[in-house]
Amino acid sequence: MIALDTNVLVRFLVRDDESQAASARTMLASCSAEKPGFVCREVILELVWVLERAYSFPREQIADVLEQLVSTEELVVEAAADVARAAFKYGTGEAGFSDLMILAAAERSHALPVYTFDQKAARAEGVRLL
């Protein structure tokens, strides 16, 4: 297994640098179910941030990208169930993606509710404003 950094996924998705995009396509094409690429949670968090801030992708499009990454057998996404759960809620506009990843981890750990001072995060079911 190999690990993929955020910038490889960004180049693959946005193709704003054709040379790097071609390298990213080649690298991802070399991944298989037997020898998958590994995508850690931190890469997922960075990816969402970059697609939102630098490329102005809408939430629904980012949620679709995340769902595709999680369902691709050539990739192993760390905490894939958490990513899928957070992506679904993120696509509906409940809260920020990182807040939804915290909520997903809390749900998985049976540690609810999540208490926060973040008013936007507190809009999500399972999160309470302190």
CA-CA distance, 106 to 115, in Å (whole number)?
Answer: 11
The pLDDT of residue 42: 98
Q: Does the pLDDT of residue 41 top 90, yes or no?
A: yes
- Say whether pLDDT at 64 is over 80: yes
Q: Any residues with CB less than 8 A from the CB of 86 and at least 6 apart, and which?
A: 66, 97, 100, 101, 103, 104
* pLDDT of amino acid 93: 80
Distance of CA 57 to the CA centre of its chain: 13
Judge whether residue 19 has pLDDT over 80: yes
- Is the separation of the CB atoms in 118 and 66 below 8 Å? no
DSSP secondary-structure letter at 36? P
**CA distances (Å), origin 62, targets 11, 52, 113:** 15, 8, 26
pLDDT of residue 92: 85
What average pLDDT does range 26-41 have in this prediction?
Answer: 97
Structural domain of residue 9, as residue ranges?
2-129
Res 25 pLDDT > 80: yes
- CB neighbours (10 Å) of residue 101? 22
- Average pLDDT of the chain is 96
- CATH number of the domain where residue 115 is located: 3.40.50
Domain count, the chain: 1
Rg (CA), the chain: 15
Q: What is the pLDDT of residues 74-97, one digit of tens each?
A: 999 999 999 999 999 999 887 999
